Amino acid sequence: MLTGDASLIKKMNRSLILSTIIEHKSISRAEIAKVTGLNKATISVQVSELLDHAFIVESQLEHKSLGRRPIMLSINEKAGFALGIDLDKTTITFTLADLDGCPVHTDVIDLPVSNYEVIFDILSQQIKVYHSKCEQTHYGLIGVVIGIHGIVDTNEIIYFVPQHGWKNKNLKKDLENELGIYIYIENNANLCSFAEKVYKHHHSNNLLSVSLYSGIGLGFMINGELLKGYHGYAGEIGHMIIVPNGVPCSCGNSGCWEQYASENSLTRRVCQDQQKLDFSFEDILTGLKEQEPTILKEMEHFIEYLAIGLNNLINLYNPEILVVNSELLRLYPNAAEELKAQLTSTISHYSELLVSEFGKKACIMGACALGIQKFLGVSELSLTL
């Protein structure tokens, strides 16, 4: 039985009311009572406080019928802004989003080196720029969430970033000491799954998102919560061995899934087939459009290996929604159908498999959404682009 004192109950009611307003975009007090089951007195007190703190705003609904026009409540989207950052191998992407989760500005900066101090300076300077841009709003820059393409522990310390060779970096503490702003550090695959849940699959409590870029990452939403494991290292599914004594991996093992089913692995194999070291991802897309036989054959192998790993995940977690995040598959006709055709086991069950509509924007949109959730203090967040 869940129990709590008056302050906890008040906090839970506030979270429920605010989540309901965000989900419905515009809703009256009476409708909030119907949706939440809370009494009118509780709603009146909570709404008054939310208005006083500029979290929400009132407006009157236009209608032609007789009688009093209902007063509608909605999130005060311009009261503050969240900054999402995707720290990738060769670029850093910065996206500023309002409290309704809509992007209002994006910058992409090329990374000249992997040196921690250099990248720290770039992050620090850019965050200061965004902080200055938001100063005129009620709450300013409400928080910064950085997506890391590597392993992040439960204390938000970066354990390892293979792309940059970083080990045991406390970027959160370093930036907070420098800037005096709340900083959150999260694994990029976790942010991808969070974006799918918040923006696309609001009512799914069991969602897996598999990202297939330089490696393979897995974000779990189990019972509506991110599943991170004991140390925070859960989701390194790219290092699941699918081919014994196969292609050597940088992790020290051989035959890891990401050596066969990541976009980087496909590019590497096509380069070997074409005997061209400079064969790019864009060249592969062109080859697919032109039905180039070698590339089509490699694409078949790519989907076969991808299906092997997905089958394992389905058997392990029995997800409701399984999202594959890949720019290549997003642009490849019938990708989801070809994957489903290879998932023929009678004991593998899932409700829906699809290719993410976000592509490489998933991480940064998840970062913005997480920043908003942390600031508003809500347990459930449903946004729409």
Q: Is the pLDDT of residue 282 over 90?
A: no
Q: With bands split at pLDDT 50, 70 and 90, how would you rate the model's confidence at 157? A: very high
Pairing between strand 321-325 and 225-226? Answer: unpaired
Q: What's the CA gap between 362 and 292, in Å, rounded?
A: 30
Q: What is the set of domains in the chain, with CATH numbers?
A: 6-75 (1.10.10.10), 80-192+363-376 (3.30.420.40), 201-358 (3.30.420.40)
pTM of the full predicted structure?
A: 0.91
Q: Is the pLDDT of residue 24 over 70?
A: yes
3-class secondary structure, 270 = helix
User: Which phi-psi region, left, alpha or beta, contains residue 280 (left: φ > 0; alpha: ψ -120 to 50)?
Assistant: beta
Q: What is the rounded average pLDDT of the residues 189-199? A: 95
Lowest mean pLDDT among 60-74, 215-229, 299-313: 60-74
Q: With bands split at pLDDT 50, 70 and 90, how would you rate the model's confidence at 2? A: low
Cβ neighbours of residue 241 under 8 Å, at least 6 residues apart?
Answer: 253, 254, 255, 256, 257
Q: What residue has token string 């500005």?
A: 105
Q: What pLDDT does 34 receive?
A: 95
- Residue 254: exposed, middle, or buried by beta-carbon count in 10 A (0-12, 13-18, 19+)? middle
The β-bridge partners of 218 are 210
Q: Is the pLDDT of residue 5 over 80?
A: no
Q: What is the rounded average pLDDT of the residues 310-327? A: 94
Quickly count helices (H) and strands (E) in the chain.
Answer: 13, 16
Pairing between strand 321-325 and 352-355? Answer: parallel
Q: With bands split at pLDDT 50, 70 and 90, how would you rate the model's confidence at 1? A: very low
Q: What's the CA gap between 137 and 135, in Å, rounded?
A: 6
Q: Token digits for 244? A: 């014994």
Q: Token digits for 368? A: 């913005």
Contact 144, 181 (CB under 8 A): yes
Lowest mean pLDDT among 22-36, 55-69, 147-161: 55-69
Contact 107, 96 (CB under 8 A): no
